[in-house]
Structure 1
Amino acid sequence: MNATQNLPVVAVTLGDPAGIGAELIAKLLSKPEACARANVVLVGDRWLWEEGQRIAGLQVPTAPVQALAEVRGRADTTRPAFLAVDSIDPAAVHRGKAEPAGGRSVLKVLDQCMDATLAGHVDAICFAPLNKQAMKLGGMQHEDELHHFASYLGVTGYFCEFNTLGDLWTSRISSHVPTKDAAGYITAERITQAAELIYRSLLANGVAQPKVAVAAFNPHGGDGGLCGREEVEVIEPTVRALQARQWPTEAPFHGPFPADTIFLKAQAGEYQAIVTMYHDQGQIAIKLLGFSRGVTVQGGLPIPITTPAHGTAYDIAGQGRANVEATWQAFLIACRMGAAHRAAA
């Protein structure tokens, strides 16, 4: 086996064709260091890739392949491989609009990449921003892409989104549900699963000694039961049970801490991950800390899948203004987790 075959194979997709995805991927793959970190294969429509380069004002040489099964055996990985897929006609794309054709395009490309990961040809996927409305219009039967991935890959255990910002990761025990229903998701099982999953994912991302903080649900952490009893009855006992178990590293779980101070502890470097109790409890904080660098990791799947945490930015599509930093960070995580996935296979 030559040295290049030790690199993880990372599939990169162009995202919603009406958004900024193709421009972002042109900027991403123009970085010489991208192909030093992975055996990269770009999957998408040829015309869309050419348009993304035009918008970005870049030319990125690629090496054509006929199938994703060819990528791992490439002798030269200094250029991204390119698998051209006919998923959408240019005339069906109206920049800045969520439409069924765009959703079908995204689903076709991502499903093809997932097939390749299940077959052992790809180690990780990094996708450019997509649009949930377009995907639902295009036939997605699930509430979001994570549930689509989990269904497609046959996941039966716990899964959730992680949002990351540099060295800080967050998970949550409930996601896209009305805030009034969030308390009903606070169970020992869900807290345990979310905490354990993000801990093991940090290990796979190369963090040697992960420290995970668990957030309280109520103001002031419930004030000992005077301002809500979720902490007393569920969250505190669950954290104690986690602390009592044996783990590969020393004392990884702590809390619960009030939500209005927990991110200060993490920002100071005390913790590498926070388990939050509902969507906005973590999302608001992490986006304020650095919106342009945020990454979403699809946690609990049998393969690593990452994406920038921002959306399709329809309002600036085609203008060449898209910031590539979050996409670059998502790609780096896909490379690290893809390498760990390959090593464990």
Structure 2
Amino acid sequence: MTTTPTPRPRVAITLGDPAGVGPELIARLLSRRENTDAADIVLISDADELRAAGEDAGLPVAHGDGPGTGLPVLYDNSGARPAGTTDGFERRKATREGGLWALANLAVALDMARDGRVDAILFAPLNKSSLHLAGMTENDELRWFEEVLGVETFTSELNVLPGLWTARVTSHVSIAEVDAGITRDNVVEAGLLLDRVLRGSGLAAPRIGVCALNPHAGESGRFGRHEIDVIGPAVGDLAGHGVDAAGPFPSDTIFLRAKAGDFDGILTMYHDQGQIAMKLMGFDGGVTIAGGLPVPICTPAHGTAFDVVGKGVAATGSVQNAFDLAVAIGGRKAAV
């Protein structure tokens, strides 16, 4: 019996905010031959940034200038380097220049994805203050991705640990705004997205647990009726779409059930409801995926870690997991 080989995915990589640990993390990631063998990698950067990344990591960032070298290919984006940064970027601090550079490199990656030149994107940690100083008006990079790519359908950040994925009905909004975002349609859209992305990752029959919004799942309406009037009916709708979803369950116990293996994914109602649990369960290995876009976009779930820049102690578990997911999902996309 013969099998068709899986195409090598093409992955675009950016080094994130130059003030943080992103450049060092990417340098370490690409120092491992098993990573550079796993995909055709395009580095969107310039020689100066790669040199600085290698200095932080204590090893050079090897790259080629074209295909066929067996090395990551450098897309030289030096023409987009902000004025005044020829001697490097200010480190350990949110700056307009760092935000401009991060957005410029991400814009190239999105163009490559739109044109079908790459199958997935990995970006190192960003700093939202830098992005907003650079002129980004959206609340976060996911909304910016939507704008650049012209996406009008439902999107959500998904957070991933080995064996467990989460998606959110609401994300980067104030707690005061969460209530308005918990609608039956939004819960269904988020649940469908989580199921679709889990299947896209290779899971044939994902099991999804749905969080309640209120304490004790509302306690039969005593603490609010969201579970009775909105979330419970939405779970029924998801079942009608063929999604194996159950709930709503109290959020203070659902992650214990997931840890025991009851669920592959959890749908949360707001940002910290899931993020606190996921970061306690595996801060150094977490991954964030921009779900609902036409291209998989992965990043470490941690931030720019200004406090450890240049110290050689930044953990690579999350960036490795993010790369592995980009390769896996991008490979399936390339095979279609």
TM-score by length of 2: 0.94
> Alpha-carbon deviation of 1:32?
1.3
CA displacement 1:132-164 (0-9 Å, x = unmatched): 111111121211111000100000110010011
> Alpha-carbon deviation of 1:84?
2.1
> Alpha-carbon deviation of 1:37?
1.9
CA displacement 1:315-341 (0-9 Å, x = unmatched): 111221111110000111111111122
Which of 187, 192, 196 is residue 188 of structure 2 equivalent to? 192
SS of 1:225 mapped into structure 2? coil
> Alpha-carbon deviation of 1:196?
0.4
CA displacement 1:4-59 (0-9 Å, x = unmatched): 99201001111111111110001101111112321111111211111111111113
* Corresponding residue for residue 71 of structure 1: none
CA displacement 1:273-327 (0-9 Å, x = unmatched): 1000111100000000010001110011111101001111111112211111100
Which of 205, 209, 221 is residue 201 of structure 2 equivalent to? 205
* Corresponding residue for residue 70 of structure 1: none
> Alpha-carbon deviation of 1:92?
5.6
> Alpha-carbon deviation of 1:260?
0.7
Count of residues in Structure 1 that have an aligned counterpart in Structure 2: 329
Which of 122, 127, 133 is residue 118 of structure 2 equivalent to? 122
Paired AA for residue 175 in structure 1: S
- Seq. identity, %: 43
Paired AA for residue 171 in structure 1: A
> Alpha-carbon deviation of 1:109?
0.5
Paired AA for residue 8 in structure 2: L
TM-score by length of 1: 0.92
Paired AA for residue 154 in structure 1: G
Gaps of 5+ in 2: none
CA displacement 1:223-263 (0-9 Å, x = unmatched): 11111110011111111121133x3xxx5211111101110
- 1:266 matches 2:267: no
- 1:294 matches 2:274: no
Which of 72, 81, 106 is residue 80 of structure 1 equivalent to? 72
* Corresponding residue for residue 343 of structure 1: 335
Pairs within 5 Å for 1:171-186: 171-186=167-182
Q: After the TM superposition, which of the residue ranges 78-87 and 217-226 deviates more from structure 2?
A: 78-87
Task: Tell me the distance in 2 between the aligned counterparts of 1:324 and 1:278.
Answer: 27
Flag the 1:92–1:36 CA change in 2: closer, same or farther, 3 A: closer
> Alpha-carbon deviation of 1:85?
1.6
* Corresponding residue for residue 33 of structure 1: 34
Task: Tell me the distance in 2 between the aligned counterparts of 1:180 and 1:139.
Answer: 26
Which of 132, 139, 150 is residue 154 of structure 1 equivalent to? 150
- Preserved contact between residue 4 and residue 39 of structure 1 (Cα < 8 Å): no
Task: Tell me the distance in 2 between the aligned counterparts of 1:268 and 1:58.
Answer: 40
- Preserved contact between residue 123 and residue 298 of structure 2 (Cα < 8 Å): yes
**Superposition RMSD on alpha carbons, in Å?**
1.5
- Preserved contact between residue 8 and residue 39 of structure 2 (Cα < 8 Å): yes
Pairs within 5 Å for 1:7-18: 7-18=8-19
Task: Tell me the distance in 2 between the aligned counterparts of 1:90 and 1:175.
Answer: 37
Task: Tell me the distance in 1 between the aligned counterparts of 2:87 and 2:94.
Answer: 14
Paired AA for residue 237 in structure 1: P
> Alpha-carbon deviation of 1:207?
1.3
* Corresponding residue for residue 104 of structure 1: 100
Which of 269, 276, 287 is residue 277 of structure 1 equivalent to? 269
Pairs within 5 Å for 1:209-228: 209-228=205-224
Paired AA for residue 190 in structure 2: A
- Preserved contact between residue 120 and residue 329 of structure 2 (Cα < 8 Å): yes
Task: Tell me the distance in 1 between the aligned counterparts of 2:325 and 2:270.
Answer: 24
